[in-house]
Amino acid sequence: MLVHLHPYCFSYAIIDKTQHQLIDFEVKVINQQLGKFLHLDTIALWFADHEETFSLPFKTSKVAIYSPEFTILPEKTDKTAELFKLLGYPNSDNITYLKNKISDTFYVYYSLPDKTINFIENHLPNVEFFCIDYGLLNFYNSKLSFKNYVAANLYGEELTICYKRNNENLYYNKFPVKGKEDLLYYLRLTYEHLELSLNEFPTYLYGFIEEKSPMYSTTYGYIRNFEIDRTLKNTLSLRMTIEDIPLHYYINLIGLDL
């Protein structure tokens, strides 16, 4: 069982690991406010709507869940509470600090309310928690014509950008997106920061976006190698019992399985 809980959208997928087959999938756009922990009541209602599914005896359950409190470090630390206090996050005894190792030199630290953790653990057996962008960070598409690329994920009003090089993440940042100019602005800012060429270096796009959207067409006019990653059906090698799922919408969900 894979679960992705983001203020814009809740989704889950059930994958048969022996057959590597996607056997069930559900998504609900909820569009809550960014910048706050997810409302436990909203999560509880969504779980109640899928009670029969979530009560199945899954061998493993992976939950990627949004947190407004996160940071990235090149190494492991045991002083997480002190680190988050130093970053200006409020101290609380009702918060648990978690970490995900992405590579040998890339750790994401984030916090979650204890009530949220306890609720999910009580409803899903054998659950592991992941940062909201773990799927995108964990995914590297070696079948793309450009082996080094920028991966941009647009989810509601949140843009996440990663720089992938030789199967490693060398950059990870998040930006607010309100209009069609914002995607272009933050991509150009990223290119400038990473000293990449707009005329040569590629960007592959994920999330809730299509070629017909004004946001896509505005950016396409300025970045030469800019396209939605349509190779996922072959790259992920998932046998699909459900047709017509736009996989690039859900890279953070499906990427949990990699």
Q: Write down the domain spans for the chain.
A: 2-137+235-257, 144-230
Which CATH code of 3.30.420.260, 3.10.129.10, 3.40.1350.10, 3.40.50.2000 fits the domain covering 144-230?
3.30.420.260
Provide the whole-model pTM. 0.93
CA dist., res. 152 & res. 46, Å (int): 28
Q: Which helix (H) or strand (E) holds 155?
A: strand 149-155
Where b means 16+ CB within 10 Å and e means fewer, 206-242 reads bbbbeeeeebbeebeeebebbebbeebeebbebeeee
Give pLDDT, residue 128: 97
> What is the structure's pLDDT at 104?
81
- What is the per-residue pLDDT for 258? 77
Q: 193 near 150, Cβ under 8 Å?
A: no
* β 158-165/149-155 pair status: antiparallel
> Which tens digit of pLDDT belongs to each residue from 164-218?
998 889 899 999 999 889 999 999 999 999 999 998 999 999 999 999 998 899 8
Pick the closest to residue 245 from 10, 3, 13 (CA basis): 13
Considering the domain delimited by 2-137+235-257, tell me its CATH architecture. 2-Layer Sandwich (3.30)
Asked if 26 contacts 250 with a C-beta cutoff of 8 angstroms, the reply is no
3-state secondary structure of 64: strand
The domains spanning 2-137+235-257 and 144-230 adopt the same CATH topology: yes
